[in-house]
Amino acid sequence: MTLRIRPGELEDVPLIAELIRGLARYEKLEREVVMTEEKLTAGLFGEHRYAETLIAENDGEPVGFALFFHNFSTFLAQPGIYLEDLFVVPEQRGRGVGRALLERLARVAVDRGCGRLEWAVLDWNRDAITFYERLGANANSDWTVYRLTGQPLRALAGE
């Protein structure tokens, strides 16, 4: 097995879209995916690049990805990285692909002077939780994540 982690490129958009759909299937959230390749292209490679990706390849075949973006910690007065998605295709799990993606992302964070790398995990995903804890990550259960989307978001914006 020759595992390679590389930054995602514009020509990877169809692949990234396919991996996002695979993640949604795994998380039983397919109904929530309204992503299109056009929207993904604009968000990742357009005038304002809101996120970045890393692609994992095993012997040249894509087997996973990480999608991340910068945030900022006021308490640290440093940037951070938020890992939005980490996905490894089912037949490649347990072979070090997820760890390799996180190692590369940790390197990106350190190289960019970030004070932390953080993400969320679904509470039913015991395999992922165990994996993250083995890496030394700690659950931050003192915080509850809130989200505004759709009509409530537009209403708050005065629309």
> What's the one-letter identity of residue 65?
F
Residue 149, classed as helix, strand or coil, is coil
Q: Which of 26, 50, 82, 132 is catalytic?
A: 132
CB-CB neighbours of 144 under 10 Å:
5
Question: Are 43 and 52 contacting, i.e. CB atoms less than 8 angstroms apart?
Answer: no
Q: CA of 57: how far to CAs of 3, 54, 63, 96, in Å?
A: 6, 10, 5, 12
82 is catalytic: no
The token pair at 46 is 């357009």
Q: Where in the sequence numbering do the catalytic residues fall?
A: 132
